Amino acid sequence: MDLRNGFDIKRYIRTIPDYPRPGVMFRDITTLLSSLHGFRAAVDELAWPFLKAEIGYVAGIEARGFILGGAVAHTLGRGFIPIRKKGKLPSRVIGQDYALEYGVDTIEMHADAVTKGDRVLLVDDLIATGGTAGAAIDLIRKSGGEVVSAAFVIDLPELGGAAKLKEKGVKVHTLVSFEGH
């Protein structure tokens, strides 16, 4: 897929077969991040649709969402909110559980990070089943914030995550998609 300026981000994403378990095709963005032009193109394309949007914050999901979300927040001139795994933030937090294939996990953010009426753009590297992103949306809404949109470098459409976020009323912006898991 060529982006507006003809730059093909997809060619900078490495596929690692059978990781973390047999049958999974892991889409690794570290090769994209290590490319000066690839990283810049990804950040620009994630931020571009929101240059004039009324957004107060960009929230990024641990860990690759920190890298991308921080860069998008800088590009948009907005604050950044980290959404982390349980037990990693130093101040008072609120949490949201979400289902995994093998159990339940929890993400957290500082209780004072988002207040009523704050408009937030959620950023992460990949949308698969939508579990983590859906929990992040619930967490932001629990604080009174509004998720304006969710932006991802990669969509795995067969896993249905983007559709689940749209069912929650959240617009989804992705740069590339890969078939399969």
Catalytic center residues: 64, 101
Amino acid letter, residue 77: G
Exposed e or buried b per residue across 27-61, where buried means at least 16 C-beta atoms within 10 angstroms of its C-beta: bebeebbeeeebbebbbbbbbeebeeeebbbbbbb
CB 68 within 8 A of CB 42: yes
- Distances from the Cα of 88 to the Cαs of 51, 66, 72, 156, in angstroms? 31, 14, 22, 28
Residue 33: which residues within 8 A CB-CB, separation 6 or more?
A: 39, 42, 67
The DSSP element (H or E) to which 6 belongs, if any, is none
Residue 70 to residues 3, 60, 90, 114, 181: CA-CA distances in angstroms?
21, 7, 19, 16, 27
Structure tokens at 41: 């193109």
